Amino acid sequence: MTAFKCDCGNVHDNTVQMACTPVASLGDRVHVTWLANPLPLAKMADADIPAQMEQKINAVYDERNRCVAGMTAMAIRLGWRTWLGRHEPLNDPTWDKEWLNVVFIELPTGQVSWHIHDRDLPMFNHVIGQIFLDPIPTWDKHTTEEKYQRIAALRDPLVKYRGPHSE
């Protein structure tokens, strides 16, 4: 196993996707080994997370969700399909019931989605009126890696857009 020392001064193994990230609102750093996907956090009982760590984790998700809310607003203005859905199956025991909300964007490069905590739904009020799709699309089984590849592909002028937004 390869290890590296990051700029926070800690040593991380090679399984860490993002070693640590600044949390501007707290003037601190948070190790976000699991924050790319809320599943491990959703499995943890609230009592298992020290209050200060929970505050830092929530700050990271708040920052991410502000960016995703901005992306959904831009997507709507560009005429891209954007909608709120629910994690399937709803009775999935591996997910906290407060994390079952999913916001979707159908980019020209493919579908992307994020789980959104109940407390953050007000950031997505502008998406609620977008449920005009019949039937409402479901998750296309993209992975987190595929999601970010699809977002990165938007920057590449050589990538062909697919779907209803093709040139």
Domain ranges of the chain: 1-33, 51-165
Output the CA–CA distances (angstroms, integers) from residue 10 to 49, 106, 141, in the order listed.
21, 38, 35
Tens of pLDDT, residues 90-146: 788 888 999 999 999 999 899 999 999 999 999 999 997 665 656 778 899 999 999
Average pLDDT over all residues of the chain:
75
List the structure tokens of 21.
């990230």
Neighbouring C-beta atoms of residue 53, cutoff 10 Å? 12
Give the tens place of pLDDT for each residue, 43-53: 445 555 688 88
